[in-house]
Amino acid sequence: MKCLSYSNRFYYKELSEEDANCIKKDLILYNSMLHTAYKKLYLTCFHGVKDAVSLQKQLKVKYGTNDYFPLSAIHEARALLKSNIETNQRLKKACTKRIERIKEKIRKENKTLQNWQKKKEQLIQKSKEHETSEADYLYEVQIVNPNIKQLKHRIGLLTFKLNRETDKLNHLNIGVRAACFGSRKKLHHDLEAYRYERRKRMLITGRRQGKYSNNLFKYHLESGIMVYRGTKKEVHLPIRFYHHAEKLERAVRLPHNTAGKAVAYELYDHGEYFIIKAIIEVEPKMIMTKKEEGSIGIDINVNHIAVAHIDRQGNLCRQQILPMKLKGKTRNQRKHEIAETASRIIHECVHTHKPLVMEALDFSDKKQKQRYQPKGLNRMLSEFAYAQISEAIERKAVYEGIEVIKVDPAYTSLIGKLKYVRDKGMSVHQAASYVIARKGIGYKEKILREYRVFVKEKQTQAEQWAAIGKKVGKASIKECQLTAILALFR
């Protein structure tokens, strides 16, 4: 597990001119090596271009530096290429799913079109036999012909969409698209911003065979000075690290060639100033929670997280709602709100020594189908940062030694609604979190089997009741179906 520690700001105007120029030139030099290394690795991977001389020696001779800059640039270029290959695989998978979904949509529309064309053929045959009435003529002109025209237009649009997705898939199958450092958008619109993006950061990998855990950044703990060994000179920076500073000091103090001693440093340029980020390898804590104490179940929603505490017998001890106001906030504000909520949940687990139980949800398929969903649902799915929330909770849990149990999300809300909402006087989301907590420690709900029996045997009866309720006009079909389900289980 890796953790980050950020330093204070270093303003260029407060440094000497030589030190500032040294850092700026090294940023340009490192990024030039990175771009060259990525290009060489890309050509080797996808076009089979191989050189007799190693890439490290090529960069060292071309730019006239020591081994540390080329090695770091090659390491980052390989990681970037691997990331782009995985992204390409993910895009191909998503594109294939979209193609299958569009083909299914075209198949359904063609079937509907054939039915309307059969009706038109029947009307044409009827007119040939001179049996057409005024009602038949109006039905053909006002209903059949417009529907056929609309379906043909819809099939044409879907066919165009299918061809476009097929072209995308063909381009993805050719290979990974070459990376544009600095982004293509800024290249065409803002040349200065593009150049800045290409040279704003420098990542030097750590090394555990040494006193200071890094070859170019030497952190002197006693004096609080960071010595940067540049290509032209050494730059002495009075530095102070904030969050996780004690972990950084522990790593630097470790003996020579010890696991976890290597510390990578990233120098990040912000225009008027730069900061240094330390990346430390930390061993995760041992699991300190026990299922014998019970569990804590959470149900993640758009604007809140429902939490349920249960004991070892599966009885409800406590329930709570943690609000999470993400709508209308910036990216950093949402990130901070999610981190605070995750900390509160993990703090409860640490205090009670209970494992955390959550659903194993994946909204990727649902988000891919957004174009066929209502506008309100699409907006909700777009704003629902489930992956970000679950990732923050899991990261905090690993850091604190909390066991995270993921359960199947099937029927959790329905079981909670049918079995616990009325009995325990809780909301649907709180009842769902209670069911999730019970699932995590092995309890099974009998209502699940009963619900499956209902779906198999009683669905027709519920649909009839729903149709009657719809005719009366007192409620919607979904409300009538829910009333029917509840009536069957009373």
Mind giving me the DSSP string for 119-167?
A: HHHHHHHHHHTT---HHHHHHIIIIIHHHHHHHHHHHHHHHHHHHHHHH
pLDDT of residue 287: 86
Q: How is residue 441 written in tokens? A: 């420690």
Q: DSSP character for 291?
A: G
In sequence order, what are the residues at sequence separation of 6 or more whose Cβ sits closer than 8 angstroms to the Cβ of residue 191?
none
Hey, how many other C-beta atoms are within 10 angstroms of the C-beta on 74?
A: 22
pLDDT of residue 86: 93
Q: Where are the domains of the chain?
A: 291-445
Asked if 481 and 487 touch (Cβ cutoff 8 Å), the reply is: no
Asked if 116 and 110 touch (Cβ cutoff 8 Å), the reply is: no
DSSP three-state, residue 223:
coil
What Å distances lie between residue 287 and 260, 314, 352, 404, CA to CA?
A: 20, 21, 13, 10
In sequence order, what are the residues at sequence separation of 6 or more whose Cβ sits closer than 8 angstroms to the Cβ of residue 289?
349, 353, 354, 355, 356, 401, 402, 403
pLDDT of residue 80: 94
Asked if 310 and 405 touch (Cβ cutoff 8 Å), the reply is: no
Architecture of domain 291-445: 2-Layer Sandwich (3.30)
Please name which of 307, 298, 288, 284 lies closest in space to residue 350, comparing C-alpha atoms: 288
Q: How far apart are the first and last CA of the chain?
A: 51
Query: Would the pTM of this model clear 0.85, i.e. be above it?
Result: no
| Location of structure tokens 């000091």 | 249
pLDDT in tens, the chain (490 residues): 788 999 999 999 999 999 999 999 999 999 999 999 999 999 998 888 888 889 999 999 999 888 899 999 999 999 999 999 999 999 999 999 999 999 999 999 999 999 999 999 999 998 888 888 888 889 999 999 999 999 999 999 999 999 999 999 999 998 888 888 888 888 788 888 888 999 999 999 999 888 899 999 999 999 999 999 998 899 999 999 998 899 999 999 999 888 889 999 999 999 999 999 999 988 877 888 888 889 999 998 888 899 999 999 999 999 999 998 887 788 888 888 999 999 999 999 999 999 999 998 765 554 555 455 566 555 555 556 778 888 889 988 988 889 999 998 888 888 888 888 888 888 999 999 999 999 999 888 765 555 555 555 555 665 665 555 554 454 454 555 555 555 544 4
- How far apart are alpha carbons 183 and 145 in whole angstroms? 50
Q: From edge to edge, which strands make up the β-sheet containing 217-220?
A: 217-220, 225-229, 234-238
User: Measured in whole angstroms, how far is the alpha carbon of residue 428 from the centre of its chain?
Assistant: 26
Q: DSSP character for 370?
A: G
In sequence order, what are the residues at sequence separation of 6 or more whose Cβ sits closer than 8 angstroms to the Cβ of residue 54?
none
DSSP three-state, residue 3:
strand
